[in-house]
Every structure is written in structure tokens, then in C-alpha cells.
Amino acid sequence: MHTRGGSSSRGQSGLGFGSRVSSLLLAMFAAMATIYVAGRLWQDAETRLHLVEELDKRSEQGKSAVSVDDTLKIIACREQQKRLSAVEMELAAARQAGFVSNKLGDKGDGHSKKRILVVIGIITTFGRKKNRDAIRKAWMPTGAALKKMEDEKGIVLRFVIGRSANRGDSLDREIDNENRQTNDFIVLDGQVEATEEQPKKSKLFFIHAVETWDAEFYAKVNDDVYVNIDALGATLSTHLDKPRSYIGCMKSGEVFSEPTHKWYEPDWWKFGDAKSYFRHASGEIYAISRALAQFISINRSLLRTYAHDDVSTGSWFIGLDVQHVDESKFCCSSWATGSICAAV
């Protein structure tokens, strides 16, 4: 009897010990779980505090009790608002440039300024002062008359030239001296004056012109062309209803792949087996609307040039919603050593 009773007592004692061990393990597990959860909550609290602080920095307001998700949404929303504001500014600029239909009206003060009709860049180079003087005598006003034409007819005329490869040499000084006397040059300081640089020079002219003058059209003319200014102005005025217009004597022509040829095109292989240029305005004289000049300015770094300036200009408008106007009055006929154009 005593033996059985002793065994029963030891068994109960063993069960009690096991129960205490289980309780201890459970307590340790609960403690560890509590520490883990507390740590996660602390991390979340630190993250929440960081986001709230960032929000306060952005909004310059006091602490606000918002959830992490709400904070992220607010931050994302404000980033979208910034992007929307930037897009609205770009849209306003595009509308002003003519990319978006927008009828310009009086601003409400009754004193809306009349836009210039056309800015004409006469492409010239070193050693052609005789050509420039002939133009000044024939069809380009000088001095006060030049300013009067701008004010009364809305026509701006400027010779366009780059800089010598040897910056500041006698060629540059001659142009600077001539310009001080006549004040009728656009000197493209960032453009080297060279025959192979003519396409880039024409592009830079359009960029400079559209960023300097707010005009309906921007025209490029060679310095051996005679232009009837009144006829040119009248012709352009008939195309004011075309916001994206490319106006000139439209032509195509053979692409020459022989390096020794005068009109050699290094990128001849890009024009297909027929070796024919796409339709473009002849380089003697052509005009583009404000929207297209703005397009050139905005995309200046993306627009490549070919061997000839007229082909280069035409290439920029392929694939765009542009109205090509084949204007016969811009087709030049031979006239002594130069050309005669624009409805004379």
C-alpha cells in the first residue's frame, strides 16, 4: 500500500512539474511575441513619423494625424498636381504657338498688340558685303525706314550670319563694324560660319527668330534673291488661316551619292533606291508659320540636318500635320547673277 501510494504521489509531482514547464515556455513565447510585435509597431511608428514629417515639410503646416496610406496618397497627388501644372503651362505655350486651336482676341484692356506679320532672315556670309549693299538699295529699308516697316507693315528684316571659326578675327570684326553702322544683322554667336554648316545655321535662325519676335510667319531668303516686300506680305496674309503652314516653291530632286558631285548627299542611302528627295520648298525663299517655328525651337536637339538646308527643313515636317503650300509666287526665275522672286 505504501509503495503504491508513493508511486502515485511521484506521478502527480511529475505532472505538476511538466505543467509548470509548459506554462514557462508559453510565457517565454508570449514574451518573445510581444517583443516582436512591439518592435514592428515601433518600426511602423518611425515610418509613419517620417512620412508625416515629410508631409509637414512639403505643406509647411503643423502635425496632422493621417495614416501612412493617406500620406502616400497626398504626396502622390501633389506630385501629380505639379505635373499637371507643368502640362497646363506647356499647353498654354502650344496654344499660343498655334499647335492648339485658339482664337486670339483682345485681352480685355482694349489695347491688344498687333502681331508681327513676318520675320525675314536673309542668309549671308563673309565676303558678300556687295550683295548686302545691293539688297539695301533694292528692297531692304535702312535706318529709320527699317523700323518704320516693322511698325507699319509688321515686317522684320535682318541679315543672318554666324561667327568665324577663328573667333574674333578680321572676318568677325568686319561684320561687327558693318552691324554697328546698319543695325540690321542677326549674328548667331553659337554658329560657325561655313558652307557645310548652312542647314544648322537656318535651324538656329528659326530658333532665334521665334524666341525674339512673336510673328505669324518666319521666312528664310538667300542673299542673291530679289524680293518684292509688299507682294510677299500680301501673299503671306492669304495664308493666315493655316496655323501649321509650310510655304514655298515645292519641288523634289535627285539625291547624289557621288562624293565628288557638287550636291553630294552623305545620307543618300536613307532616301531609298529611287534616290529622290521628298517634296520640300526650294531654298531660295520659303516661309513657315509660328507653330512650325515653335516646333523647331522645342525639338532643336532632336532635329537632324542633311547636306542642304531646304531638304533639312522639309524633313522636319514629315509625319506632322502640316499643310504644304506650293506657292508659285515663291518660285524664282533667273535674273542676271541672282534670282527674282515673290510676285514681282
CATH number of 116-250+282-343: 3.90.550
pLDDT at 164: 94
Asked whether 280 and 315 are in contact (CB, 8 A), the reply is: yes
pLDDT at position 343: 43
- Stated pTM of the model: 0.64
Q: Supply the pLDDT for residue 177.
A: 97
How far from each other are the two terminal CA atoms of the chain, in whole angstroms? 142
Residue 14's pLDDT is 53
pLDDT of residue 281: 86
Instruction: Let me know if 288 is exposed, middle or buried by CB neighbors in 10 A (0-12, 13-18, 19+).
Output: buried
pLDDT of residue 251: 81
| pLDDT tens, N- to C-terminus, the chain (344 residues) | 554 555 555 555 555 555 665 666 666 766 676 666 555 555 555 565 666 566 666 555 444 555 656 666 666 676 777 677 677 666 766 655 555 544 444 444 444 467 899 999 999 999 999 999 999 999 999 999 999 999 999 999 999 999 999 999 999 999 999 999 999 999 999 899 998 899 999 999 999 999 999 999 999 999 999 999 999 999 999 999 999 999 999 887 666 665 666 556 666 545 655 565 677 788 899 999 999 999 999 999 899 888 788 888 988 998 888 998 999 888 876 554 555 555 44
Q: What is the pLDDT of residue 108?
A: 44
Distance of CA 91 to the CA centre of its chain: 13
Q: What is the pLDDT of residue 112?
A: 46
Backbone angles phi, psi at 216, to 5 degrees: -75, -40
Q: φ and ψ at 329, to 5 degrees?
A: -70, -10
Q: Could you tell me the CA-to-CA distances from 326 to 38, 120, 323 in Å, in that order?
A: 79, 19, 10
Locate cell 518611425: which residue?
Answer: 46
Dihedral sign computed on CA atoms, order 30, 34, 37, 39: negative
Q: Is 16 exposed, middle or buried (0-12, 13-18, 19+ CB in 10 A)?
A: exposed
Q: What is the pLDDT of residue 309?
A: 85
